[in-house]
Amino acid sequence: MQSLEKRIAALETTSAPADEMTIVRRIVWPGHLDAEIDHIRDDDGNEWTRQPGESETTFTERAASETLANKTGVKGLIATTRELDHANH
C-alpha cells in the first residue's frame, strides 16, 4: 500500500500544463494609441515583422503559432509599432 501512496503523491506533484494561452502586450504611446502594430517579439527574443498586406490579426496569429508556450502553457508576445519604438529610444 505504501508503494501506491508514493506513486499517487508523485503524480499529484506533477501538474498537467494549463490550457494554452497567448498574452499580447501591446505597447502604445500618447497620441498614437491606434497605431497599427508591425513588430512582435516573444519572451525568448524571437522577432516577427508584419508582411505587406497582412492584417494585424493574421500577423499576431502567425507570431503566436510560431511561439512556444512556457511550462505553464502561456505564450508571451510584445507588439509594437517599430517606427514609434525607434523614435522613442
pTM assigned to the model? 0.69
Averaged pLDDT, 11-17: 63
Quick one: 79 exposed, middle or buried, by C-beta within 10 A (0-12, 13-18, 19+)? buried
Cell of 6: 508514493
C-alpha to C-alpha distance for 39 and 41, rounded to whole angstroms: 7
Residues 51-83 have pLDDT tens digits of 999 999 999 999 999 998 888 889 999 999 876
Cell numbers 514609434 correspond to what residue?
Answer: 84
